[in-house]
């Protein structure tokens, strides 16, 4: 049975929950119960990493993508070959059609609105988005920005959220759809669902929000949680896909562009980057290129920090 790691959510250092006005513990108990009733007991492997729970990966045993890849390649004698898509199609640069229709359904708990906004921009390859509307649902609290240098400055934001709940739910002097205009940007949304195709995850979501530099800190954190949940379900598949789409790809592309533009010789590299002959002999050429001509400039967020 699945046991929700409550500490990963409730003890997060940047989250401030309004447990005095929102029955967070009761909600989490109910969520855990029905995750088991609706997913675990139905045969799905559920995986949690911190604030993200992967409820259902449609290709969790890789048999569906195996069958599709076999049809694509005209291989009918061993259509349950779960390595075929990865080793015969991904490695050869063929179509990702076998996993385009396979998806992972994620449950997000304790997530600030800015992260939701960053993820919801992915419409292609996102068949499901279930988020409680703010007409009736109230925020659970406030999430401090990763970049916040003075947490004490944000105490009033929590009180603003408390005031919204008081106006709309306790005193009922304002409708929630009106009172929500008073909410701060970083309020913690009630739990929400997003489902992405595996192709969209590896080619777009993980690449742009995790592998490439520049995404905001909280979004990077949650996207990393999504990836870790996927790895728990099928480590071999996602590590293989990362080998073809992971963070090293941007460095490799920069290396190739720089080498083509500058027309460096190996002697030029050694001179410009201060590489000794001994170091050159003992270091992998691939690693040497990534470390020198493939070194990426700092992102806007790196500069600010």
Please state the domain extents for the chain. 6-58+101-245, 63-99, 248-304
Q: How far is residue 63's CA from residue 45's CA, in Å, rounded to a whole number?
A: 15
**How far apart (Å, rounded) are the C-alpha atoms in residues 65 and 81?**
9
**What pLDDT sits at residue 278?**
83
Q: What is the pLDDT along the chain (305 residues), one digit of tens a residue?
A: 999 999 999 999 999 999 999 999 999 999 999 999 999 999 999 999 999 999 999 999 999 999 999 999 999 999 999 999 999 999 999 999 999 999 999 999 999 999 999 999 999 899 999 997 666 788 999 999 998 999 899 989 999 999 998 888 888 888 888 888 889 999 999 999 999 999 999 999 999 999 988 888 999 999 999 999 999 999 999 999 999 999 888 888 888 898 899 888 888 888 878 888 788 778 888 888 888 888 887 754 455 45
pTM, two decimals, is 0.91
Cβ atoms 167, 196 nearer than 8 A:
no
| pLDDT attached to residue 174 | 83
Q: What is the pLDDT of residue 302?
A: 55
Q: Mind spelling out the 3-state secondary structure of the chain?
A: CCCCCHHHHHCCCCEEECCCCCCHHHHHHHHHHHHHHHHHCCCCCCEEECCEEEEEECCCCCHHHHHHHHHHHCCCCCCCCCCHHHHHHHCCCCCCHHHHCCEEEEEECCEEHHHHHHHHCCCCCCCEEEECCCCCCCCCEEECCCCCCCHHHHHHHHHHHHHHHHHHHHCCCCCHHHHHHHCCCCEEECCEEEEEEHHHHHHHHHHHHHHCCCCCHHHHHHHHHHHHHHHHHCHHHHHHHHHHHCCHHHHHHHHHHHHHHHCCCHHHHHHHCCCCHHHHHHCCHHHHHHHCCCCCCCCHHHHHC
Domain 6-58+101-245 in CATH 3.30.1360.170: yes
The C-alpha atoms of residue 258 and residue 252 are separated, in whole angstroms, by 10
pLDDT reported for residue 290: 85
Per-residue confidence (pLDDT) for residue 216, from 0 to 100: 86
**pLDDT at position 267, please?**
84
């Amino acid at each position: 049975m699945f046991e929700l790691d409550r500490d990963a959510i409730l003890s997060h250092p940047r989250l401030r929950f309004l447990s005095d006005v929102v029955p967070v513990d009761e909600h989490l108990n109910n969520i855990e119960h029905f995750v088991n009733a609706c997913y675990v007991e139905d045969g799905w492997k559920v995986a949690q990493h911190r604030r993200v729970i992967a409820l259902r990966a449609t290709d969790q045993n890789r048999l569906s993508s195996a069958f599709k890849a076999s049809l694509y390649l005209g291989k009918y004698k061993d259509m349950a070959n779960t390595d075929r898509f990865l080793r015969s199609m991904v490695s050869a640069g063929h179509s990702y059609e076998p996993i385009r229709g396979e998806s992972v359904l994620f449950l997000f708990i304790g997530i600030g609105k800015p992260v939701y906004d960053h993820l919801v921009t992915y419409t292609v390859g996102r068949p499901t988005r279930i988020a409680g509307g703010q007409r009736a649902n109230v925020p659970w609290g406030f999430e401090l920005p990763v970049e916040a240098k003075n947490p004490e400055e944000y105490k009033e934001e929590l009180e603003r959220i408390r005031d919204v709940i008081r106006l709309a739910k306790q005193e009922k002097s304002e409708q929630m759809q009106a009172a929500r205009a008073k909410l701060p940007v970083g309020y913690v949304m009630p739990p929400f669902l997003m489902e992405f195709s595996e192709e969209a995850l590896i080619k777009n979501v993980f690449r742009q929000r995790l592998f490439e530099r520049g995404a905001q800190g909280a979004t990077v954190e949650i996207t990393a949680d999504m990836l870790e949940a996927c790895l728990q379900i099928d480590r071999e598949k996602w590590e293989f896909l990362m080998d073809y789409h992971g963070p090293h790809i941007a460095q490799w592309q920069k290396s190739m562009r720089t080498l083509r533009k500058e027309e460096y010789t190996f002697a030029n590299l050694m001179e410009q980057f201060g590489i000794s002959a001994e170091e050159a002999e003992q270091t992998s050429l691939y690693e040497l290129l990534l470390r020198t001509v493939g070194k990426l400039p700092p992102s806007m967020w790196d500069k600010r920090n």
